[in-house]
Chain A
Amino acid sequence: MAACRLEYFSLVFLSLRLFSSYIASASSIRGVAVTRLPFYDSSKDFTCLDGSLTVPFNNVNDDFCDCGDGTDEPGTSACSNGLYHCTNAGFRPRNIPSSRVNDGLCDCCDGSDEYDGAVTCPNTCKELYKELYQKQREEAELAKQGIAIKQDYSQQGQEKKEERKQKLEGLKKQLEEKKAVVESLKAKKDEVETIEKEAKDMHEKEWEETKAKLLAERDRASADTAFRALDTDENGRVTLQEIVDTELLDKKYNEDEARELLGGYEESDIEDFFSGLWSTFKDKYLHKQPEPTPVGEENPTEAETPPTESPPLPPPIDDNFDDEDLPEVPGDEDDDEEEEDEDERDEPSDEFKQEAENKVTKVSTEESNKDDDLKMPEYDEETKAKISVADDARKEFNDAETVSRETEKEISELERSLNLNLGQEEEFSPLQGQCFDYTDREYLYKLCPFDRASQQPKDGGSETSLGTWGEWTGEPNKYSRMKYSGGQACWNGPSRSATINLRCGSTNEVVQVSEPSRCEYHMEFRTPAACQSGDGDSTLPHGHGGEL
Chain B
Amino acid sequence: MATSHASRILSLLLLWIIPEINAVDKGNFKKCDDSSFCKNNRAIQPGESPYSVVKDSIVFTEPRYEVKDVLIQEPQPVSNQKLKQDDESVHIGFNNNSVVLTFEPFRLDFLVDNEVAVSVNSRGLMNFEQYREKRKVVVKVEQEDEEGHAPGENEEENQMISLSRYEKYSKKDVLSEDNNEKKEEERVEEENFEENFKEHHDSRPRGPCSVGLDISFPGVEHVYGIPEHADSLALKTTVGSEPYRLYNLDVFEYELESRMALYGSIPVMIAHSVARTVGVFWMNAAETWVDISSSSARKSMLNSLMSFFKGSEEVPQVDTHWMSESGIIDVFVMLGPRPHDVFREYASFTGTTALPPMFGIAYHQSRWNYNDEDDVKNVDKGFDEHDIPYDVLWLDIEHTDGKKYMTWDKLKFPTPDHMQKNLAAKGRKMVTIIDPHIKREGGYHIHEEATSLGYYVKNKDGGEYENWCWPGTSSWIDFTNPEIRKWWAGKFALSEYQGSTETLFTWNDMNEPSVFHGPEITMHKDALHHGDWEHRDIHNIYGFYQHMATAQGQIDRSGGRERPFVLSRAFFAGTQRNGPIWTGDNTAEWGHLKASLPMILTLNLVGLPFSGADIGGFFLNPDPEFVSQMVPGCGISAIFPRSRSFGHEAPLWVEYPEEKNTFAMEDEFLLGKDLLVKPVTTQGQNSLDVYLPGKGELWYDLHDFKIYRGENTIYVSTPLEKVPVFQRGGSIIATKQRVRRCTALMHKDPYTLTLALNSNAEAEGDLYVDDGYTFDYKNGAYIYMKFTFQGGRLTAKREKPNTQYSTPAWIERIAILGISNAPKGIFLTADGGESRHLHFTHDSSSNTMIIKKPAVNIAQEWTISMHA
Seen from chain A, the residues whose Cβ lies within 8 Å of a Cβ on chain B are 1, 3, 62-64, 77-78, 80, 97, 99-100, 103-105, 118, 441, 489, 491-494, 514-518, 544-545
Residues of chain B with a CB closer than 8 A to A80's CB: 737-739
Known: A64-B812, A515-B371, A518-B367. A492 touches B738 (CB 8 A): no
Expressed in whole angstroms, the Cα–Cα distance for A103 and B747 within the complex equals: 9
Chain B 607-630 near chain A by CB (<8 Å), digits 1 or 0: 000000000000111000000000
| Cβ contacts under 8 Å, A100 to chain B | 740-741
Q: Which of B620, B740, B852 contacts A103 (CB 8 A)?
A: B740
- Determine how close the nearest CB of chain B comes to the CB of A121; give it in whole angstroms: 13
Cβ contact within 8 Å between B745 and A441: no
Binding site for A on B (CB under 8 A): 11-12, 15-16, 19, 367, 371, 374-375, 378-379, 381-382, 385, 387, 411-412, 425-427, 619-621, 737-741, 745, 748-749, 808, 812-813, 852-853, 855
Partner of B15 from the list A103, A104, A492, A518 (CB cut-off 8 Å) is A492
Q: How near does chain B come to A329, taking the closest CB pair, in angstroms?
A: 49
Do B375 and A78 touch across chains, with their CB atoms under 8 A apart? no
6 A-B contact pairs sorted by A residue (CB < 8 Å)? A62-B853, A80-B737, A103-B745, A104-B427, A494-B621, A514-B374
Interchain CB contact under 8 A, A545 and B412: no
Are B738 and A99 interface neighbours, CB within 8 A? Answer: yes
In the complex, what residues of A have CB within 8 A of residue B371's CB? 514-515
Partner of A63, one of B374, B411, B748, B812: B812
- Chain A residues contacting B382 (CB-CB under 8 Å) are 516
Contact A441 B412 (CB under 8 A): yes
The answer to whether A99 and B741 have CB atoms under 8 Å apart is yes
Whether A99 contacts B381 by the Cβ 8 Å rule is: no
- B426 cross-chain contacts in A, Cβ below 8 A: 105
B853 and A64 form a contact (CB under 8 A)? yes
- Chain B residues within 8 Å of A118, by CB: 748
**Chain A residues whose CB sits within 8 angstroms of the CB of B374 once the complex forms:** 514
In whole angstroms, how far apart are the Cα atoms of A107 and B500 in the complex?
Answer: 27
Q: If A492-B11, A518-B367 touch, does A77 touch B738 (CB 8 Å cutoff)? A: yes
In whole Å, how far is B149's beta carbon from the nearest beta carbon of chain A? 56
Chain A residues touching B, majority SS:
loop
Whether the Cβ atoms of A516 and B738 lie closer than 8 Å is no
Chain A's nearest CB lies how many Å from the CB of B369?
A: 9
Shortest CB–CB separation between residue B812 and chain A, in angstroms? 6
The CA of A99 and the CA of B385, in the complex, are separated in Å by 13
| Complex-state Cα separation, A64 to B427, whole angstroms | 25
Chain B residue contacts of A77, Cβ below 8 A = 738, 740, 749
Chain B residues near A491 (CB-CB < 8 A) = 11-12, 15-16
Please tell me if the beta carbons of A493 and B621 are within 8 angstroms of each other in the complex: yes
Q: Which residues of B contact A1 (CB under 8 A)?
A: 808
Complex: A361 Cα to B411 Cα, angstroms:
67
Closest CB in chain A relative to B399 CB, distance in Å: 14
Q: In the complex, A361→B536 CA distance in Å?
A: 72
Closest A residue to B378 using CB positions: A516
B727 to chain A, nearest CB (A): 19
Nearest 6 CB-CB pairs, A to B?
A103-B745, A99-B740, A64-B853, A491-B12, A103-B740, A441-B411
Name which of A103, A441, A545 has the most chain B CB atoms within 10 A of its CB: A103
The answer to whether B378 and A514 have CB atoms under 8 Å apart is yes
**Is the beta-carbon distance between B381 and A544 smaller than 8 angstroms?**
yes
A residues less than 8 Å from B379 (CB atoms):
516
Assuming A3-B853, A80-B739, what are 5 further A-B pairs, CB within 8 angstroms? Answer: A64-B852, A99-B387, A103-B741, A514-B378, A516-B378
Given contacts A77-B738, A492-B619, A545-B385, contact A514 B375 (CB under 8 A): yes
Q: Residues of B contacting A493 with CB < 8 Å?
A: 620-621
A323 to B382, CA, bound (A): 69
Residue in B closest to A105 when the chains form the complex, CB atoms = B426
Cα distance A451–B387 in the bound complex, in angstroms = 37
**Residues of chain A within 8 A of B385, CB atoms compared:** 544-545
Q: Are B367 and A78 in contact (CB under 8 A)?
A: no
Q: Which residues of A contact B738 (CB under 8 A)?
A: 77-78, 80, 99
Most B Cβ at <10 Å: residue of A1, A80, A492, A493: A492
Q: Are A78 and B812 CB-contacts (below 8 A) given A514-B375, A516-B378?
A: yes
Nearest opposing residue in chain A for B369, CB measure? A518
Among B378, B425, B748, the most chain A Cβ lie within 10 Å of the Cβ of B748
Chain B residues, CB < 8 A from A104: 427, 745
Q: When chains A and B are docked, how far (Å) is the Cα of A3 from the Cα of B621?
A: 47
State which of B12, B739, B812, B813 has its C-beta within 8 Å of the C-beta of A99. Answer: B739
| Contacting residues, chain A, for B19 (C-beta < 8 A) | 492
- Chain A residue numbers with a CB within 8 Å of B812 are 63-64, 78
Residues of A within 8 A of B427 (CB): 104
Q: Kindly list chain A residues whose C-beta atoms are within 8 Å of the C-beta of B425.
A: 105
Cα A493 to Cα B16 in complex, Å, equals 10
> Please, how many angstroms separate the alpha-carbon atoms of A100 and B367 in the complex?
26
Specify which chain A residues have a CB less than 8 angstroms from the CB of B16 in the assembled complex.
489, 491
Chain B residues whose CB sits within 8 angstroms of the CB of A544 once the complex forms:
381, 385
Chain B residue with Cβ nearest A517: B367
- Given the complex of chains A and B, what is the CA–CA distance between A515 and B411 in angstroms? 17
Distance in Å from the Cβ of A103 to the closest Cβ of chain B?
4
Minimum CB–CB distance for B230 against chain A, Å: 19
State A503–B378 Cα separation when bound (angstroms).
19
What CA separation (Å) do A103 and B739 show in the bound complex?
11
Q: Which residue of A lies closest to B738 (CB)?
A: A77
Q: Which A residues are CB-close (under 8 A) to B745?
A: 103-105
Complex Cα–Cα for A492 and B425 (A)? 36
Residues of A within 8 A of B411 (CB): 441
Among A97, A492, A515, A517, contact of B620 (Cβ-Cβ < 8 Å): A492
Chain B residue at smallest Cβ distance from A53:
B841
Closest to B367 in A: A518
Q: Are A3 and B739 in contact (CB under 8 A)?
A: no
On chain A, the residues within 8 Å of B741 by CB distance are 99-100, 103, 105
Q: Which residues of A contact B381 (CB under 8 A)?
A: 544
State how many angstroms separate the Cβ of A101 from the closest Cβ of chain B. Answer: 9
Inside 8 A of A105's CB, which chain B residues have their CB?
425-426, 741, 745
Cα distance, A100 to B738, chains bound together (Å): 10
User: Please, how many angstroms separate the alpha-carbon atoms of A293 and B337 in the complex?
Assistant: 116
- Which residues of A lie under 8 Å from residue B855 when comparing CB positions? 3
* Cβ-closest chain B residue relative to A494: B621
Provide the bound-state CA to CA distance between A545 and B412, in Å: 27
Which chain A residues border B15 with CB–CB below 8 Å?
491-492
How near does chain A come to B858, taking the closest CB pair, in angstroms?
14
- Who on chain A is nearest to B852 by CB? A64
